[in-house]
Amino acid sequence: SFFPFLFAYAETMPVNVETCRMKGLEAQKQGSLDEAITYFSKALSIDPNRPDLYNDIGVVYEAQGNAYQATRYYYEAINLDKKYLPAYSNLALLCQRQGNLAKAAEFFRKRIELGDPSDPWTKDAVEQLRILGKTFPQEKRWLDAYEAKLLERRAKVLEAKLKEQQDQFLADRLLKAEKYVA
């Protein structure tokens, strides 16, 4: 029969990390959470050094209501890459939903420290930490200092641009004056 040949062929087809991850994301989107975990796990078996895969599995476990496993996988993502930002956001939000506000504040702060201030997720973390700052004064003080540093940096950038424009203006005026004198 023709079908056994197809099965043998399908099992020998090369499987790569991205294919498994895409299938996992699709299964997740369709609500097939166990299938998503299977695909993400297969991807991890191919490349266990991908923090995004651990984070993906954590998201699925969280969607299943398994906060313990979700936390475990988020931490694993961070252990692989201390600068992997999505895991900090996910841990912060999970802790916040569980009522562990001190831990949530810790993860929001880390997300802010490592993130680009213009990134929407960083901005969201700032807003979440601002809310938590009402409960935790030390977080409000930290956030105030962070925002003061940002303003200081922006002021320096604007100052440099202004000086550049002033220098250009003076150079243009000098050139005009030299032409006028000549």
The larger pLDDT score, comparing residue 83 to residue 152, is at: 83
Answer whether residue 3 shows pLDDT above 90: no
Answer whether residue 7 shows pLDDT above 50: no
d(CA 54, CA 159): 44
pLDDT of res. 9: 43
Answer whether residue 90 shows pLDDT above 70: yes
Scored b (16 or more CB within 10 A) or e, 87-123 reads bbbbbbbbbbeeeebebbbbbbbbbbeebeeeeeebe
**pLDDT band, residue 2 (cuts 50/70/90):** very low
Q: How would DSSP label each residue in 59-91? A: HHHHHTT-HHHHHHHHHHHHHH-TT-HHHHHHH
Question: What tens digit of pLDDT does each residue of 75-89 get?
Answer: 999 999 999 999 999
Q: Are the CB atoms for 73 and 90 separated by under 8 Å?
A: no
pTM of the model: 0.76
Helix or strand holding residue 171 (H, E): helix 137-181
Tell me the average pLDDT of the chain.
90
Tell me the C-alpha to C-alpha distance, in Å, between residue 13 and each of 7, 37, 43, 115: 10, 21, 15, 39
pLDDT of res. 170: 84
Question: What tens digit of pLDDT does each residue of 16-27 get?
Answer: 999 999 999 999
